[in-house]
Amino acid sequence: MPKLRALLPLLTAAAILLAGNGLIGTAVALRAAEEGWPPLVIGLLGTAYFGGFILSCFYAVRMIHAVGHIRVFAALSAIAACCVLFLVLAVNPISWTISRFVMGFCFAGLFMVVESWINASVSNKDRGKVLSIYRIVDLGAVTSTQFLLPVFGASGFELFVVIGIILALSLVPVSLSDRSRPAPPEQVKLDMGAVWAISPLACIGAFTIGLTNSAFRLVGPLYARDVGLDVTEIAIFMSAGILGGAALQYPLGAMSDRIDRRFVLLIATIGAALSGLFLSQVAGANPMLIYGGIFVFGCFALPLFSLSAAHANDRAKAGQYVLVSAGMMLFFSTGASIGPLMASWVIDKYGASSFFTYTSIVHASLIIPLIWRTIVNPKVIGRTRYVALLRTSPAIFRMGGKPEKSGKK
């Protein structure tokens, strides 16, 4: 793949960037808890992050069109690094909420730069391979940096300085890469009514999954801390959930390419709900039970967004794929901006074990529309190929060309 060599600086920068982003959410939740802030305040930090994420979905493309990929990457990386360092200069809820909002804006824009750059630099025949490499980079970076938690701890300033250094270093590979100027991403007018008309079920699914997956990433460390896990065990807990998401991403996707995706969505949703109930019952038990439970939870919960997006694209017409992709991420981000606040309120009122009761109730609420839409809607004939979407993606991927016909008559 000749193009891959040219993308190595960008993939290196992405690995460094994802490493910092993967660690800051866990670090913020743990440090805020050590400061004695109520769970509701900690949940608000997650809500602020995704509020900035949503805003960036509307403005980042304009920024890239105005000054180009490299300058936007440099500016947003520098601002994000400053926000991380600001967290230890002003340790109070208001300052942290503002910082997390700005970080959400920056990271959404950064992911858009990286992913649009990749998509503009590869041909259709190489796109899947390159994006698979990017997913491996994402998984490896996010998982490995969790283990910096026990090395530095969250109570001092060292961990936040390290994260700031990591984000600043992401500037180096991009700044020293060649002078190629990829085409800016396509401007998409977000018509949420049109996206809803294409697939109400996928929109409901994306919103519902946003309520739970964001809570796991940003409030899950509180559950782990409150059930008695130490810092090292919290790192293992978060890594196990992320690895679980990778383990069944492709098997579930391959299954959904062969049978009705709604049936696979139903299986995964039931699995996420049941594994959540299991985790709510083993709070305070042997850590191995908790690790096993969160691994299974990740197996079923984290692929749900990709499955929902694939179902929406099955129903989309040629020319609607970018619209559907952007709309799905906006539905997800809207749910994600609410999820951490709801989950933290549940923990505050009912205790740590109720966190996964919350996720189970939310996942169970998706079962009814899944069954209903399967009954009232005919089986989809035109099908796109399943794409395992990144949790970071602001959905600027092109979801393929024309729908492929399934082999079934």
Average pLDDT over the chain, rounded to an integer: 84
Tokens of residue 241, six digits? 């959930």
State the pTM of this model: 0.84
**Lowest mean per-residue pLDDT among 3-7, 45-49, 57-61:** 3-7
Does the pLDDT at position 132 exceed 70?
no
Q: Where are the domains of the chain?
A: 1-181, 188-409
Does the pLDDT at position 342 exceed 80?
yes
Write down the residue that tokens 């949790």 correspond to: 391
**C-alpha distances out from residue 41 to 85, 358, 370, Å:** 20, 18, 34
% of residues, the chain, pLDDT over 90:
47
Mean pLDDT calculated for residue range 395-409:
39
Write down the residue that tokens 């691994």 correspond to: 295
CATH of 188-409, one of 1.20.1250.20, 3.20.20.70, 3.40.50.2000, 3.40.350.10: 1.20.1250.20
Mean pLDDT calculated for residue range 283-303:
90
Q: For position 292, what pLDDT does the model report?
A: 95
Q: For position 195, what pLDDT does the model report?
A: 86
pLDDT band at 16 (very low <50, low <70, confident <90, very high): very high
pLDDT tens track for 352-370: 889 999 999 999 999 998 9
Does the pLDDT at position 200 exceed 80?
yes
pLDDT tens track for 203-226: 999 999 999 999 998 899 999 999
Q: How many CB atoms are located within 10 Å of the residue 125 CB? A: 8
Q: For position 6, what pLDDT does the model report?
A: 73
Does the pLDDT at position 64 exceed 90?
no
Query: Do 1-181 and 188-409 show the same overall fold?
Result: yes
pLDDT tens track for 139-175: 788 888 999 999 998 888 999 999 999 999 999 988 8
CA distance 58 to 342: 25
Does the pLDDT at position 407 exceed 50?
no
Mean pLDDT calculated for residue range 3-13:
80
pLDDT tens track for 226-244: 999 999 999 999 999 989 9
Mean pLDDT calculated for residue range 364-385:
76
Which of residues 17 and 137 earns the better pLDDT score?
17
Regarding the domain delimited by 1-181, which CATH topology (the fold level of the hierarchy) does it fall under?
A: Growth Hormone; Chain: A; (1.20.1250)
The amino acid present at 300, given as its one-letter code, is F
pLDDT tens track for 67-117: 888 899 999 999 999 999 999 999 999 999 999 999 999 998 898 888 778
